[in-house]
Amino acid sequence: MTAEHAKALARLAGSSTLEEINDRAWRIRKAAPADSIAPYCEKGAHRLRFMPEGRRFADLKLLAMDMDSTLITIECIDELGDMAGCKTEIAAITAQAMRGELDYPQSLRKRVGLLKNLADTALTRVYDERLKLTPGAEALISACKKHGVKLLLVSGGFTFFTDRLKQRLGIDFTISNRSKRKTASSPAG
C-alpha cells in the first residue's frame, strides 16, 4: 500500500492520523468503519483490519488466517482442477456452496470427486509451480513471531499444502482436511 492509498483510506475512515509502519503498511488512528472501505480495499487488493484504539499488536495472542486467497494467492483446489481439466466445474460447485445451495461437505466431496483421476504429482506441481505467498505475508508472520503471537493456519483445503506451509513459515498450528489418498511425498497427503 502506498502513502497515497493509505491517505485515501484514512479519509474514508474519517481520520487524519496516519502512521507508517513500514514501506507497505500503515496504521490509521481514530478510524471509523465505513461502507466505502471494503470496496476500496478489495479494488486495490489491500488488507485491512480494525483494532480497538489502545490495543497493540503485541497484545495479540493468536492470529488465525485462512490459507487460500489469503495467506497464498491461489485456490489450491482450483489449480488442481486446472491440471485435471475441470477448473470450470470446480468453480461452479464452489459458487453453489457460496450461494448456500450445497453445504461444505457436499461441495468438497463433489469437487474432490472431479479430481479422482489426477496424478499425485499434481499436488507437488501446484505447490512448487503455482503457490505464491500474498505480498506482506512473510512480514506479518515475522511480526507475529517477534511479538510472541501464535499462528494458526486454517483451510478447507488439504494437509498436503498446510503442512508444507507450516514447516516453511514456522506456523504453530494448522487445521485442514485430510486426504485418504497416499502419496510418496506425504503419507497423509
Residues acting as catalytic residues: 66, 68
156 half-sphere exposure, CB direction, 13 A CA radius:
17
Integer Cα distance of 189 and 184 in angstroms? 9
Give 183's pLDDT tier (boundaries 50, 70, 90).
very low
CB 40 within 8 A of CB 48: no
pTM to 2 decimal places = 0.71
Over the stretch 50-102, which tens digit does the pLDDT of each residue have? 777 777 777 889 999 999 988 999 989 999 999 999 999 998 998 888 788 99
In whole angstroms, give the CA distance from residue 179 to residue 183: 10
CA distances from 163 to 49, 66, 158, 171, 185 (A): 26, 14, 9, 9, 12
Per-residue pLDDT tens digits for 43-56? 877 777 777 777 77
> Would you state the pLDDT for residue 40?
84
31-46 tens-digit pLDDT: 888 888 888 887 877 7
Paired strand residues for 150: 62
